[in-house]
Amino acid sequence: MDLHLDRPADVQVIAWWATSFTPPEPRSTSLVLLDAWLPAGQRTVTLPGEVPPQASFVTVAAGDEVQSLIVGPMPAGTTMASLPQLPTVP
């Protein structure tokens, strides 16, 4: 993952991924990949092999800015909650 800083900043990069999809409380874990004050410039942050290719994302905080990036998409059928359809009243 490439990281470009226009100015020096305190940077934190965290990988997150699901470890269980069992309702009602799915579980996840995380791993701090970088937590440092960095000068301006280009960096590469390598994702370790333990970050799975599904149900994973990375958050990047640099100063006051935060972005999240999908690493691996959620498995089919786990991305939307189903709500009961309410009857319409005429």
Quick one: what percent of the chain has pLDDT higher than 70? 84
Residues 6 or more apart from 41 whose CB is under 8 A from it? 4, 5
Checking if the pLDDT of 12 tops 70, the result is yes
Out of 60-64, 69-73, 75-79, which region has the weakest mean confidence (pLDDT)? 75-79
What was the pLDDT predicted at 48?
A: 94
pTM flag (> 0.75): yes
- Say how far apart CA 8 and CA 77 lie, in whole Å: 41
For residues 18-42, average pLDDT: 88
What was the pLDDT predicted at 68?
A: 92
More confident residue, 60 or 76: 60
